[in-house]
Copies of this chain bind each other. A is one copy, B any other.
């Protein structure tokens, strides 16, 4: 059932997006060897939190260097909270393998999306994934813009979001990078794939 739903979701979204994707596909400036911190020197992310926590934190943000410098990070990006592939496959593929990531010495597994941190928090709680994965919002898309990983998904009523991607980043340097050909695909950006690459 879930599989059937996914295939249907995937093929319909592909119907919307594949053609423009094929015609206008530009590969991200992000590549193996990129310093993800230097690529966005003024970029910050917003740790997922409740509105009340947002208020208590004075709406603080987290500079990229605080996330990546001196650490081994697995990060994955997806088109949006509460969408199909993201909820049913992408996040679970990391959540369910979190012990294997820790065994490999990964400091944090991070999920990032062009959503505000309160929406992302609500979704992470619904997926019961907050204990395993750190969620960060990129509410204005500036992180994904700095990596040229943005995507217009207005055809799916989402607006300007991101590609579906994953990376292994050591001390800010990209060591492994996977970007799906279309955001509806789930072939290379899942937890199992990157586990075999690090």
Contact = CB atoms under 8 A, between A and B. Distances in A.
Interface stretch (A27-35, A67-75, A155-163, A174-182): A155-163
A115 interface: yes
Contacts of A52: 5, 8-9, 84
B84 A55 contact: yes
A115 B119 contact: yes
A87 B51 CA distance: 10
Overall SS of chain A's interface: helix
Interface in A104-148: 115-119, 121-123, 126, 137, 139-140
Contact of A16 (B59, B81, B82): B59
A40 interface: no
Contacts of A137: 157
Interface residues of A, number: 39
A100 to B, nearest CB: 28
A139 B122 contact: no
A20 interface: no
**Count of identical protomers in the assembly:** 2
B55 A9 contact: yes
Nearest to A126: B122
Contact of A116 (B80, B121, B122): B80
A13 interface: yes
Nearest to A158: B116
B139 A59 contact: no
Given A8-B55, A51-B9, A159 B82 contact: no
A63 interface: no
12 contacts: A16-B59, A46-B157, A80-B116, A81-B122, A83-B118, A116-B157, A116-B158, A117-B157, A119-B119, A139-B157, A139-B159, A140-B159
Given A51-B82, A80-B119, A82-B121, 7 more contacts: A9-B52, A46-B157, A54-B156, A59-B155, A82-B118, A139-B154, A139-B159
